[in-house]
């Protein structure tokens, strides 16, 4: 079985490299070992989304039973998205679970993830805090997601207001990422975030 | 209820056939009377009557295969494909046929194209999109959706899925293709016998679970399947392991309470039982002499060993006041001023209300268990009596019948408490609690008499049995809604 997996990955690797998406710099895969069990994937944040301009790194682990079981994929780059855990990077996507089909490929997975970035499904959330903000205060969600893209994925949009608030918490001795999570979770209200951090 | 009424009238007709050879007047007299007529239709007289069959695996297979054959002949499809359809449509043949004839293309599994190798041109090499090897086209197979893959990939696909416990739900390997693999297709590609067996075992379980008229017996290590045409919240009984359960929801039989209510109640009890256990301790003090008493029998009519005071274990009141019609101990009196009180007081009141019902529920459940022990004691007692020449073994058999009836009555009584707990206050609830109190009083009388029976009491005991059972059936007739 492992043989089929390696054979498939080898083939798919070529497929991705030759594909037109690579030419447009939208997706990329990189081998991390000789046995084809671990790969690094990259997807570009889709245009007209808060993720635009960012590059998101993915960890891809290929199980021995691939392609009869789906690859295990997780975001390495921190991201603010209802279907992706802001803590672990775990992804909630049907094709990575029960809707996987053996005929799918790494390319289809990466493209589906890109599509997920453009069209979140807040009713099937992985991160409940993010999903709640997405549904109840979408404007704030856009700001937060764009800010995270800027900080973690190299996106171009700097948000001075967010940075200022984080710096104020950092001055109180809070670690930067921790401060960002608290502020993001409380719609960037400094007071409530502080309260949560010190309670 | 309609069904029952119909059954009832049929029963009446058959009675007529039996008796009209004699005299018409006689017939009318008997038919209008409630007295015992021979060959009574149990559906008419027993509100709890439920006909079900205990089937072994072979019999279930036969039953399922009959349905499969019926559908496959009707629609001209393979038995395997018929199974896929039946499984996804709750084995409802008329509905499938209607559906199929109205809109053939809507039903995913059109079977004629399955399992045929896709090669029209004999020697052609194709690359399998799963394993990316190029092979002769005769190694390729597809389901009705025509997505073809090589033999080895199908095999591995099935192996992986079966090892994950999936059987009837295995679908095609193509993206976004939900076409399900029929049984013969899967079995054809499975080489290992242990996997074939596993697959057949899983599909069998899936078929039974999807069939509205079949239930696995919940008894431990029992492989029997119970079959009934009526899908009602009635008492199903496994004739092999003697387990009984509610046919509709599968848990312990719970008349007169409904399936949803009992589920709610059991969840509530599981959540709150810690507190409740703490509050209702296992021992109580005698209300007269305050000696500590542990309950060791099922009967709630207690007599203090020390001062001989008779009292009720439930309400701790004097037993004498229970003797009359106003057996009020099972009734919970709602505090009328509760609406005006604070939230805290309301929560306390809610807890008090819950505990009232929970204690009684728990108490009868314990009594049931204790009465099982009484049965063993009864046997020893009877042995002693027989040895000392007081009647023969047969003379004492009626006591076992009494104990059995007592268990049955107490069981129903136990399940009246969740029913009452979820009832809205009003005249209906008052009636219910009145009947419940009546039943409870008679059950305690019966329990008291069973525990102390002598041969000479036989008539009295049998009278008591009759009263208790009548109270039980009256309550069920008025409140059981199935």
Tell whether A171 is covered by a domain: yes
DSSP 8-state code for residue B389: T
Name which of B133, B173, B176 is nearest A102 (Cβ-Cβ).
Answer: B173
Q: Is residue A103 part of a domain?
A: yes
Tokens of B151: 């033999």
- Same domain flag for A139 and A172: yes
Q: Where are the alpha helices (DSSP H) in B315-457?
A: 343-387, 397-421, 427-451
Q: Same domain, yes or no, for A43 and A136?
A: no
What pLDDT is stored for residue B22 in this prediction? 43
Mutation target among B140, B146, B156 for the A interface, most CBs of A within 10 A: B156
A194: in domain: yes
Q: Is residue A37 part of a domain?
A: yes
Q: Are residues A40 and A86 in the same domain?
A: yes
Same domain, A36 and A133: no
Residues of B with Cβ-Cβ distance to A8 under 8 angstroms:
130-132
Residue A92 appears among annotated catalytic residues: yes
Q: Pick left, alpha or beta for residue B143 (phi over 0 → left; psi -120 to 50 → alpha; otherwise beta).
A: beta
Count structural domains, chain A. 2
* CA B319/CA B440 separation, integer angstroms: 13
- Binned average pLDDT, 10 residues per bin, chain A of 199 residues: 79 81 78 87 93 95 92 95 93 89 91 92 88 92 94 91 92 91 92 87
Residue A13 belongs to a domain: yes
**Final residue of a structural domain among A87, A118, A149:** A118
B215 three-state secondary structure: strand
Structural domain span for residue A59:
2-118
Q: Please check whether residue B149 touches A, CB under 8 A.
A: yes
With a cut of 50, list the residues of chain B below it in pLDDT. 1-30, 32-34, 36-37, 108-121, 277-281, 325, 338-341
Q: How far is Cα of residue B447 from the mean position of the Cα atoms in its chain?
A: 26
**Does B153 lie at the interface with A, CB-CB under 8 angstroms?**
yes
- For B170-225, how does the pLDDT look when each residue is reduced to its tens digit (9 = 90+)? 999 998 888 999 999 999 999 888 999 999 999 999 999 999 999 999 999 999 99
Supply the ipTM of this predicted assembly.
Answer: 0.84
pLDDT at position B207 = 93
- B131 with A8: Cβ contact below 8 A: yes
C-beta contacts of B313-321 below 8 A and 24+ residues apart: B313/B284, B313/B363, B314/B359, B314/B360, B314/B363, B316/B284, B316/B287, B317/B287
Asked if residue A113 and residue A169 are part of one domain, the reply reads no
Integer Cα distance of B391 and B456 in angstroms: 10
Looking at the structure, tell me whether residues A84 and A135 fall in a common domain. Answer: no
Instruction: Note the pLDDT of residue A1.
Output: 47
Percentage with pLDDT > 70 across chain A = 97
Same domain, residue pair A78 and A11: yes
Query: Cα-atom radius of gyration of chain B, to the nearest Å?
Result: 31
Domains and CATH numbers, chain B: 2-45 (no CATH), 77-212 (3.30.40.10), 261-281+324-479 (1.20.120.1750)
Q: Tell whether A88 lies on the interface with B, counting CB pairs under 8 A.
A: no
Residue A101 is nearest to which of B131, B133, B177, comparing CB atoms? B177
Domain termination site, one of A118, A146, A175: A118
pLDDT, tens only, B247-265: 998 889 998 999 989 988 8
For chain B, say whether A138 makes contact (Cβ under 8 Å). Answer: no
Phi, psi of B437 (to 5 degrees): -65, -40
| Residues A99 and A133 placed together within one structural domain of the fold | no
Specify whether A97 is located in the same domain as A142: no
Are both A39 and A98 inside the same structural domain? yes
Residue numbers in A near B157 (CB within 8 A): 68, 102
Of A81, A100, A118, at which residue does a domain stop? A118
Please check whether residues A56 and A132 belong to one and the same domain: no
Instruction: Tell me, yes or no, if B223 comes closer than 8 A to chain A by beta carbon.
Output: no
CATH of the domain at A15: 3.10.110.10
Residue of B nearest to A3 (CA): B131
Cβ within 8 Å of A, B 157-176:
157, 160-161, 171-176
In this predicted model, what pLDDT tens digit does every residue of B111-155 receive, in sequence order?
A: 444 444 444 445 678 888 888 888 888 889 998 888 999 999 999
Judge if A80 and A134 occupy the same domain: no
Is B344 in the A-facing interface, judged by CB distances under 8 Å? no
Answer whether residue A123 is part of any domain.
no
Active-site residue identified among A79, A92, A116, A166: A92
Q: Taking a C-beta distance cutoff of 8 angstroms, is the pair B249, B235 a contact?
A: no
Interchain CB contact of B129 with A (< 8 Å): yes
């Amino acid at each position: 079985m492992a043989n089929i997996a390696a054979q498939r990955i080898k083939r798919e690797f070529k497929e991705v490299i030759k594909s037109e998406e690579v030419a447009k710099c939208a997706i990329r895969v990189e081998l991390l070992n000789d046995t084809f069990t671990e790969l690094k994937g990259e997807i570009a944040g889709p245009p007209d989304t808060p993720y635009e301009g960012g590059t998101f790194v993915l960890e891809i682990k290929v199980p021995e039973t691939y392609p009869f079981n789906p690859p295990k994929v997780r975001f390495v780059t921190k991201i603010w998205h209802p279907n992706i855990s802001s803590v672990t990077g775990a992804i909630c996507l049907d094709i990575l679970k029960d809707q996987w089909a053996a005929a799918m490929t790494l390319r289809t997975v990466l493209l589906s993830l890109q599509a997920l970035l453009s069209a979140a499904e807040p009713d099937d959330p992985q991160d409940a805090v993010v999903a709640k903000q997405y549904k109840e205060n979408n404007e704030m969600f856009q700001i937060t997601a764009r800010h995270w893209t800027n900080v973690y994925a190299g996106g171009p949009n700097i948000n001075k207001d967010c940075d200022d608030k984080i710096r104020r918490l950092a001055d109180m001795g809070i670690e930067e990422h921790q401060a960002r999570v608290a502020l993001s979770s409380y719609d960037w209200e400094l007071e409530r975030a502080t309260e949560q951090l010190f309670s | 209820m309609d069904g029952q009424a119909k059954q009832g009238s049929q029963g009446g007709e058959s009675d007529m056939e039996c008796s009209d050879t004699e005299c018409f007047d006689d017939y009318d007299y008997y038919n209008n009377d409630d007295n015992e007529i021979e060959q009574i239709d149990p559906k008419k007289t027993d509100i709890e009557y439920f006909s079900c069959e205990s089937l072994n695996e072979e019999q279930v297979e036969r039953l399922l295969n009959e349905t499969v054959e019926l559908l496959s002949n009707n629609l001209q499809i393979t038995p395997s494909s018929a199974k896929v359809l039946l499984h996804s449509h709750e084995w409802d043949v008329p509905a499938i046929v209607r559906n199929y004839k109205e809109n053939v293309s809507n039903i995913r599994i059109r079977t004629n194209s399955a399992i045929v190798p896709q090669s029209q041109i004999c020697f052609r090499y194709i690359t399998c999109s799963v394993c990316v090897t190029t092979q002769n086209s005769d190694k390729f197979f597809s389901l009705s959706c025509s997505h073809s893959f090589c033999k080895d990939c199908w095999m591995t696909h099935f192996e992986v899925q079966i090892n994950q416990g999936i059987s009837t739900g295995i679908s095609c390997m193509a993206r976004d293709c939900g076409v399900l693999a029929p049984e013969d297709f899967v079995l054809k590609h499975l080489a290992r016998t242990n996997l074939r067996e596993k697959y057949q075992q899983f599909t069998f379980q899936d078929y039974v679970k999807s069939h509205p008229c079949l239930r696995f017996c919940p008894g431990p290590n029992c492989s029997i399947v119970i079959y009934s045409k009526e899908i009602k919240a009635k008492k199903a009984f496994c004739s092999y392991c003697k387990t009984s359960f509610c046919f509709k929801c599968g848990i312990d039989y719970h008349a007169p309470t409904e399936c949803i209510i009992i589920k709610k109640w059991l969840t509530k009890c599981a959540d709150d039982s810690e507190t409740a256990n703490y509050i209702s301790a296992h021992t109580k003090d005698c209300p007269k002499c305050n000696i500590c008493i542990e309950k060791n029998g099922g009967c709630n009519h207690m007599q203090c060993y020390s001062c001989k005071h008779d009292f009720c274990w439930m309400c701790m009141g004097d037993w004498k006041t229970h003797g009359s019609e106003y057996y009020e101990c099972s009734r919970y009196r709602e505090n009328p001023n509760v609406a005006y009180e604070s939230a805290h007081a309301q929560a306390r009141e809610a807890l008090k209300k819950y505990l009232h019902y929970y204690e009684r529920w728990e108490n009868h459940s314990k009594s049931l268990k204790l009465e099982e022990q009484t049965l063993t004691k009864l046997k020893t007692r009877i042995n002693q009596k027989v040895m000392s020449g007081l009647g023969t073994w047969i003379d004492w058999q009626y006591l076992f019948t009494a104990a059995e009836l007592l268990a049955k009555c107490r069981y129903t009584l136990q399940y009246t408490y969740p029913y009452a707990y979820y009832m809205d206050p009003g005249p209906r609830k008052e009636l219910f609690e009145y009947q419940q109190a009546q039943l409870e009083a008679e059950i305690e009388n019966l329990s008291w008499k069973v525990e102390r029976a002598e041969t000479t009491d036989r008539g009295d005991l049998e009278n008591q049995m009759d009263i208790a059972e009548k109270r039980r059936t009256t309550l069920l007739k008025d409140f059981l809604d199935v």
